[in-house]
Amino acid sequence: MPLTGTGAIVAPAVAYGRGVGAFNVIQLEHAQAIVTGAEAVGAPVILQLSENAVRYHGALAPVAAATLALARRATVPVAVHLDHATSAGLVAEAVDLGFSSVMFDASALAHADNLRRTAEVVARCHAAGVWVEAELGEIGGKDGVHALGVRTDPDEAADFAAGTGVDALAVAVGSSHAMATRDAVLDFALIARLREAVPVPLVLHGSSGVADEDLTRAVEHGITKVNIATQLNRVFTASVRRALADDVRLVDTRRYLGAGRAATAAEVARLLTVLRANPS
């Protein structure tokens, strides 16, 4: 199947009140697991490569080539997205490589600078037919530098969306990046207010810390794109640990990484079912 545009996945989800799973890729096994899980439940999915993952690999192009190739071989719609890019140069490289969307994160800057730089990136990306997500206000917990209690103001969010022309907006509503427990307390009333005020789809970051039933409620109240990374890493790592503990002589990486890949695929399938649930 040809690579699918992120907008082509997100727009129908908005129309039908469903969530879209956006899962982060670190190793090749992550990308394989995410696609396999999506195919198992017949759901579209977004593969995300973050700036941190690019730093880990030392370059974007090699890991991007593998991720894009898997997306194009999938039997369900798959988009490839650059996540939390703070560098306009990295954004430009992703566009050149064929990514269908990017998330440009200038949220650490002063509001006026965030708006200006984001608008510049949006203009360049839209000229290339690339969908853009941005962030207003810092999502709690990332790298230990964001305030956990921060919340996105609906009026500021509406003004930011209008001023930048972004296609989606990540909002701070109670979740936090890299949570090891699933006990985040979301502000559903705020999500509903943001949905009414903001003319573009809303994105929930830090979703690994949110319980299943609250993910469903978040979608019901107006979240569309749901970013999940740590939860997959937790499942993958737990499976690898079990495989190594069960056989202390095990040295074939295919056997324990394969176990992690299979467990992660099952978790992706399960989470996509949670996000597609429509209580109404």
Query: Could you list the mean pLDDT of each consecutive 10-residue stretch along the chain, which spans 280 residues?
Result: 94 96 97 98 98 97 98 98 96 98 91 93 98 77 46 91 97 67 74 96 85 91 94 96 96 96 98 78
For the chain, domains (ranges, CATH) are 6-276 (3.20.20.70)
pTM of the model: 0.92
- Which of helix, strand or coil describes residue 83? strand
**Are residues 75 and 16 in contact, defined by beta-carbon separation less than 8 angstroms?**
no
**Are residues 74 and 1 in contact, defined by beta-carbon separation less than 8 angstroms?**
yes
The pLDDT of residue 173: 86
The pLDDT of residue 141: 41
The kind and range of the H/E element at 272 are helix 253-276
Query: Residue 177 and residue 22: Cα distance in Å, rounded?
Result: 14
Task: Identify whether 183 is a catalytic site residue.
Answer: no
The pLDDT of residue 233: 95
Q: Which residue in 83, 167, 187, 214 is the catalytic one?
A: 83
Q: Which residue has the tokens 């937790």?
A: 234
- 31: tokens are 């990308």
- 64: tokens are 């991007």
